[in-house]
Structure 1
């Protein structure tokens, strides 16, 4: 079972993507790593995260059941295994968009595979993990805070096109991203993004180790 209790014992952080200034320094990083995600998330994103189950229900109601039946693990909203944080290394990632905002547009799309990377280090006894999508025209970059033993919380921004630096989280609500990281297999994870700003009702980003 999953609950919304659990403290931020560890934090996944991307440089320059947090609510703190992008000055870099150990002092800023140490302060960030001790924060609870609830203190970092915008009110709008706290609402989105609170309504994660509603997003699944709304999205799946629009999708042809045959399109998700081939992967019941990935599209099971209640499946999450303990130890949700992926180990460091290169990954492949792809995005599934479920449902259509205002009923306009396709209700199920799949992107191609892109490169992602997870990195870890120790900072004052805390495990700090970085997550970044490396290529493609839409590149999520952000911070993920530990929540429960089966889920972490992702807060970040969307880097677009030829941009070389991610926008600071909280500066532009249309770029802000909020979701859950869950492990759904031995070497398989997903990032669930309820009610993204554009196009879909729910985004599911699949993560698997790169060959």
Structure 2
């Protein structure tokens, strides 16, 4: 092989090694990772902004309601309720077992228009059942019958309740969000073995808290 041809070949190979290969556009090589929604993200997409704000302020509702009840002479009544009205009493595994419950409501705190800062109401029946992937709570008796779904939350010791209110002879409550004046929002917690509570902060009745106690029963309401 002639020396001149060999030299030219070596120069060509050297130049080829200096050529930069084209790179793909940077935007084609970028990887975007989207985090899955949290449990709170899911229920917050359903809740109204006002109800999400009420739930976010549940700690304030507890402190204000209990302070008002005690300052107006209901300290002994609060004490009798024990764990039901203890703000930090929530235990693990908050989901209630499906079935029939004896339920009663305690109302604490008040706006200036209300005269009473503590009130107990007669027991009634309510029912917990499975609806798809969610639990629901339905009040079965009385002229005002709350009903709503329970959603998992980032706070492991509670479920978030979003519901509505059926009135009078209505067979079914309106869907949550259909009539904001009837919407209800709160949390469900387990406070003792076989005892749960549904806490509604800043309800529309003027109280600071509506606290429903739920205890299982074997007999169904008639």
Does TM, normalized by the shorter one, top 0.5?
A: yes
Q: Mapping of 1:50-129 within 5 angstroms? A: 50-63=56-69, 64-120=74-130, 123=132, 127-129=133-135
Among 32, 39, 56, the alignment partner of 1:8 is 39
Distance 2:49 2:136 in 1: 24
Partner of 1:156: 163
Consecutive unaligned residues of structure 2, counting only runs of 5 or more, are 1-36
Contact 1:84 1:151 in 2 (8 A): yes
1:61-84 deviation digits (Å, cap 9, x = unpaired):
111211111122111111111110
2:212 to 192, 205, 210: 205
| Deviating 4+ runs (over 4 angstroms) | none
Contact kept? 2:106, 2:211, Cα under 8 Å: yes
2:180 aligned counterpart, secondary structure:
coil
Secondary structure, aligned partner of 2:100:
strand
Report SS of the residue matched to 2:203.
Answer: coil
Are 1:130 and 2:136 matched, yes or no? yes
With structure 1 as the length reference, what TM-score do the two structures score?
0.79
Determine helix, strand or coil for the equivalent of 1:207: strand
- Paired residue for 1:47? 53
**1:110-154 superposed Cα distances (whole Å, 9 cap, x missing partner):** 111111111126x4xxx4322111011111111110113210000
Q: Distance in 2 between matches of 1:136 and 1:8?
A: 33
1:35-73: CA deviation from partner (whole Å, max 9, x where unpaired): 810100000001100000111111111112111111221
**Is residue 139 of structure 1 aligned with residue 170 of structure 2?**
no
**3-state SS of paired residue (2:50):** helix
Give the whole-Å Cα distance in 2 for the aligned partners of 1:139 and 1:79: 26
Structure (1/2) with the larger strand percentage: 1
Residues 136, 147 of structure 2: 8 Å contact kept: no
Shift of 1:168: 2.1
User: Would you say how many aligned residue pairs link Structure 1 and Structure 2?
Assistant: 177
Q: Which protein shows a greater Rg?
A: 2
TM-score between the two structures when normalised by the length of structure 2: 0.75
Per-residue deviation, 1:103: 4.8
Matched, 1:175 2:206: no
Query: Per residue, is there more helix in 1 or in 2?
Result: 2
